[in-house]
A and B are shown apart, each in its own frame.
Chain A
């Protein structure tokens, strides 16, 4: 069965072994007793693609699981009501993003009833038409729950079209602190395996491989037991080395082959999904419930009672932090996601969204900010880069505003994994430079595009004016000629009169 992988030569390039900080939460069961918030703030864009379009209006009463906004366009996802209650507002609220800029949000005041909408789940999802699985996954609003938030239904359909043979379930959870996938696998392995089998059926793929980092022994055993009856589902361990969860790193490790630059893994017949997504698929197909809640890791040394807790989508982060007892005085940085690639939030008054895997309240001794010093070219970043780039060379070019030279060193192949910044002894925020440069390159491209367009318009206008001028001149000449001819005719007529 594993013939495809026989030639596999496991290699890991680069990466770091970051301090894990997982033991704070990995041994504790997921907490389900989070009190229902009075108000939920549900952004209409919690996914990659176009924002969902609301079909409710202020004052409407909605049931738990009811569709609030439908997906629009090829790449989008719908949004559902996490509880029953009344819509009190549809307008702009701060987004869970470093900028905290306003984003279109539905505000739902819960009525405390938790009254479900009626669903019509299919009897046996493993025998229905594969297309139906994509449709139902799409209708349930499921997106990549690892944090990438790409609409899962789109991936399933594309995978089926590309004749994918292997479904790779990314359960690496290589980010420090985060254990929500770990706990999910320890507590609900059968449901996850069921979700994986449903996705396999939906894809028409022959086998599924679930890959976990080898620091999750309990989860591995639980998953292996649950997968026992199904020969086409394999659970395997991969080394604990960040960024193992980078899809391309995992594919390289498992298959020994690299995904070519500019191609997708589906071109190689492999499709990746996050393990949390598999669980959401199980829930959507077996019970009909859409994605309206998720397990979030709340951790960091400023949290008194770190835990994994299931919360409704739209819960304000501040409420979850209160529930876990966060010392805001001690909190030096608030991070959504993991510490390596997560984003710093300016304040906790923003909602938890589908892609929120963790909320970290980090103290000074964890983030270890230091003043930026000169680069001593020690090469730690070069060894740590999983993509094979030269971070220090890119950085020095960007500092001198030579962005094209930085591109020459591979700026566009950077995945912002943060390994380089993590190891730098000079505290150089390399990723910061790379993100700046990437943004600046896009801005410049747009500016250049605009200049070119302006130039073209101006050129067109000049051509038009020139044409008009030529036309007028031509008309003028003709008029003059006509006039001359008329005068000539007149003169001839007069002459003729005289002579006659």
Chain B
């Protein structure tokens, strides 16, 4: 029956869109790459993943209750699951359980609810957590292990995996090593020149397939790319940010690599390493912390690209995606203030157009 007490403004129709649907689509897109990561790193990766996501949801529930907001209804928007999931994907797969919990807490409490919850945060919560963890726990956050083929006997068993996640690894030095970017940074700092220092260590196919030391879910580029393009196709994300980000890194890397291949990594290794693809499609495209307009998003993407290249090449950290995204997040309000769409019948400054007959 008609509700006579409350009269609603037009429109009296709505598209089939919902926040939870968007979030679920992003989660689905992350699925394949995550599954791949769990397969090549084994049980510890699965434990860490479950712990991080669960912790994120619990922190979210706790914050919502403190703020007096509806807990169950808000949890169903899946935003906390997505944040937890993204953190897990960027963690070293054998990191201890408390890294996941602290990361989730940093992201949800400090990165999101301190600002007022969903849609209010200035910084990308997952990247805030990742950078916070990297600075506070540099050892745990840079202990990288070698992946193994699916269900290989080289992967730790169930009980041993429980030990790795909940107590810690015994023989850290024996199984861990540097990532490609970390290796390059070390070698260059010791004045070892590039093509030579990579000899026999890294194979391009393995780099692109993610069969290299690295984070839990950043590795497998084909899966990440397919998922990214699926999101583009679904209209969940737009191409402006990812393409400008990847394009900037590619162009800078190519220019420097041509100029001096002994000191600057090849563009293909740049694109294939670290968190670049994950960042371009899944992190820099975060609605809340990136600009609104297409041109703003291009500026944002290019800015992230330049910062990533600069940090990787001249900074003291081997990977700069997290720092780059956070720095660009901080200028998002500024970009949105100056880059606005042109209003119909007005020029870019807001003055009415001239009458043309």
Contact = CB atoms under 8 A, between A and B. Distances in A.
B4 A388 contact: no
A248 interface: yes
Interface in A387-404: 387-390, 392-393
A125 interface: no
A340 B13 contact: yes
Contacts of A374: 117-120
A390 B340 contact: yes
Contacts of B74: 373
Contact of A343 (B10, B292, B343, B353): B10
A369 B73 CA distance: 15
Interface in B1-29: 1-4, 7-19, 21-22
A260 B343 CA distance: 10
B226 to A, nearest CB: 23
Interface in A371-423: 371, 373-380, 382, 385-390, 392-393, 409-410, 413, 416, 418, 421-423
Given A18-B13, A268-B357, A369-B8, A382 B345 contact: no
Given A260-B353, A371-B73, A378-B287, A344 B343 contact: no
Contacts of B292: 377, 379, 382, 390, 392-393
B342 A388 contact: yes
Contact of A435 (B9, B118, B293, B357): B9
B59 to A, nearest CB: 17
A367 B14 contact: yes
B18 A423 contact: no
Nearest to A378: B287
A11 B74 CA distance: 40
A222 to B, nearest CB: 28
Contacts of B120: 374
B231 to A, nearest CB: 13
B22 A331 contact: no
Contact of B8 (A176, A248, A366, A429): A429
Interface string B61-85: 0000000000001100101000000
Nearest to B236: A378
Nearest to B70: A371
Interface residues of B, number: 45
Given A16-B15, A360-B12, A332 B287 contact: no
Nearest to A382: B292
Contact of B15 (A341, A376, A423): A423
B355 interface: yes
Contacts of B3: 332-333
B354 interface: yes
Contact of A389 (B8, B343, B355): B343
Contacts of A267: 355, 357
A268 B355 contact: yes
Interface string B115-131: 00111100000000000
Contacts of B21: 425
B159 interface: no
A369 B345 CA distance: 33
Nearest to A385: B341
Contacts of A258: 344-345, 353
Contacts of A432: 8-9
A36 interface: no
Contacts of A347: 2, 4
A261 B19 contact: no
B17 A424 contact: yes
Contacts, number: 173
A393 B338 CA distance: 13
A493 B193 CA distance: 128
Contacts of B205: none
Given A263-B355, A374-B118, A413 B10 contact: no
Contacts of B1: 328-329, 331-332
Interface in A75-132: 98
Interface in B310-343: 336, 340-343
A354 B16 CA distance: 33
Contacts of B9: 344, 421, 429, 431-432, 435
A392 B3 CA distance: 28
Interface string A23-35: 0000000000000
Contacts of B353: 258, 260-261
B13 A422 contact: yes
Contacts of A341: 10-11
B352 interface: yes
B356 interface: yes
B81 to A, nearest CB: 14
A460 to B, nearest CB: 38
A280 B24 CA distance: 52
13 contacts: A260-B354, A263-B355, A333-B3, A335-B12, A343-B10, A347-B2, A366-B13, A373-B19, A377-B287, A387-B344, A413-B345, A421-B14, A424-B14
7 tightest A-B CB contacts, nearest first: A418-B11, A432-B9, A261-B345, A260-B353, A261-B352, A339-B13, A425-B17
Given A382-B293, A413-B345, 17 more contacts: A176-B13, A257-B356, A258-B353, A260-B346, A332-B2, A339-B12, A362-B13, A367-B13, A369-B8, A374-B117, A375-B119, A376-B118, A376-B119, A387-B343, A425-B19, A429-B9, A432-B8
